[in-house]
Structure 1
Amino acid sequence: MESALVIGHGQIGARVAEDLVGQGVATTVMSRSVPAGLVEGARHRVGDAGSEWDVASAIGGVDAVFACFHAAYDARVWERTLPRLERTVLDAAAGAGAVVVFPESTYAFAADAARLHDRAGFAPADHKGRVRQRLLQAREEHAARALSVLAGDLIGPATHAASSVVRLTVTDRVAAGRRPVLLGDPDVPHGFTELADLAAAMVWAGGHADAVLRSGGHRLLIAPSSAPTLREVCQHAQRVVDSGGAGRGARGVQEGRTTRPGSSRPGVVPQWTVAALGTASRTMKEIARLQPLWRRGSSLVASAELEAALGGPTAWQRSVEAMVSSPSRAEALQARGGRA
């Protein structure tokens, strides 16, 4: 892979672009506006993933396309938006001879994800899962070569609270001296993927598409992932704060609003409460429909090629330590007694 196009510059696209540039790949990032923090060495072009002209002109001449765009966390928006965006990218890639690499979630398999491998059958638990299933099937049926790299819930220092459940409900709260609040069973395994591991898996897949796909078409791969329980995550986050090993934000907590011993014991929101909150919040309604993932647990079995090439996952403890040490802006300000 000598050249690549990254469409979207959120937490996944930004890390993919950084890895590509680091490996000497001529990298262009396309987004609707100039992003902050664009990695040095990457080119930028303004464009819309839904515009056939923008996408086709950007894809021309590249070896791989990393489709890192997304939409608001609402199944209705996903259904209305994502199939059209993906079809636009796949059509352009097929004409240009480029491979498309997508990040993928567990939603299409959520009802049976206790031990999820890359040959598993679809088992959606909600409307979002059915949308993801249709997207995967459309990639399979399209003439373009495509790879989907599946990850669990994302963890790591570069994650955003809006898209990392662990950051939102555990590490940011512990860093601010607050009790974790969980939406599922704290004692079942839960599949987590370090953002850096997902990006590395996507870049590797794009660079080895010919070998991975062999006869063309589409392939689902699973990135190296871990499966601690949520209680273990909470306890480790608290140990980081208690030991003084956290970063500036958590030290501010210890110097000011000191955390109480045992405050890592999570508060668990009952399922009926989550469902009731869904009557007032679309996000909570969407989360409530994913209860199989949170009540029965999940674990991900990495694809053999990715495991052989990348090794095992980043230790989840390291990811949690980094997240506690770099809480999101709102929690960091609260820890210091300020206002977000």
Structure 2
Amino acid sequence: MRIIGLSGKIIVSMIAITLLAILLVFFTAYFFFYFMNVFWPEYIFEDNIIPKGPELIWVAGTVVIALTITINVAINLARHIVSPLNSVTKGIRLLAQGDLSARATSFHNAPNETNQLIRDFNMLAEKLELMTNEQKFWNAAIAHELRTPVTILYGRLQGLLDGVFTPDNHQFRSLLVQVDSLKNLVEDLRVVSLEESGHLNLKLQDVNLSTEIMSVVEFMKDSLAATQQYVQLDLIVNNALCDPTRIRQALIALLTNAIKHAVPGYIKIQTRSSQNSLTISVEDEGPGICEDFAPHVFTAFRRTSENDVSGSGLGLAVVAAIARAHNGEASCHATEHGGTRFEICLPYKQITQPKKPL
């Protein structure tokens, strides 16, 4: 019967090595005593150099014992080496069949290199499962977000075509609102996707940060007033190196988030700088973010509850993506008064204004 596999090869190799060692010892001793008998017969007590019965029994017993030990050692060695590899192989096979929950089993008595292979495989399988689940979640979330405006557009257009609705300015404005919602959703998806793939290109410029912030506040003034929210500005940093379009987009997302979720009151916008960083913060007066949701606040399509249908769930993900694209980060903190403070922390480069000639 042909022995196949790594275990069989290890066993055959160990047996062959042992047999060769035994034969080498036997024949070396045989020739040694032969030459001793020829050249130094006085050192040989017996003239017969052919092994007798007891000697043959001794040699045979030695071979049997050596082979038994070798086979046992080889089996144990093969088990220690092959069992972890078989676990990894089984996991790979299950992954290929679509079972992303498959993991390899660690062995305490396995070599360190083998256990490291198992850990790396399990880490790869875990990331693959996470990415696949995230992809499924994104596909479902995008389909859900697109369904509402597309359904409304289809219904209104069908109604206009059938004469159910009168083609007037009111209908056209309603259609334009849905188109604008789709446009914003596509743009938010584009920003988040480009940043995650490392292709969100920025147009860094020397800008007056205070001017950019005030322009966003002016743009959002009516929407803020409609929800009885008013902005307080505390702007210390004026000049900075950043992409003004993306910074305005992030500020609009933060203010829009406050309009949808914060209680009526004041929204405080601050800018601060240190030697190496620039911080833009937007702080509201409540009601705050629950502890369970706080770790997911910047994750796309995450909402505080299933009943929360305000917005697409992409606004804060866009803020975090823009911050990361600037080699910075976005963070969320609870305030002492029960509100929430969102911060965009960016690497800061002080822009030196040229001196006026005398």
**Is the TM-score greater than 0.5?**
no
Q: Whose radius of gyration is greater, 1 or 2?
A: 2
TM-score by length of structure 2 reads: 0.19
TM-score by length of structure 1 reads: 0.20
More helix by share: 2
Higher relative contact order (CA 8 A, sep 6+): 1
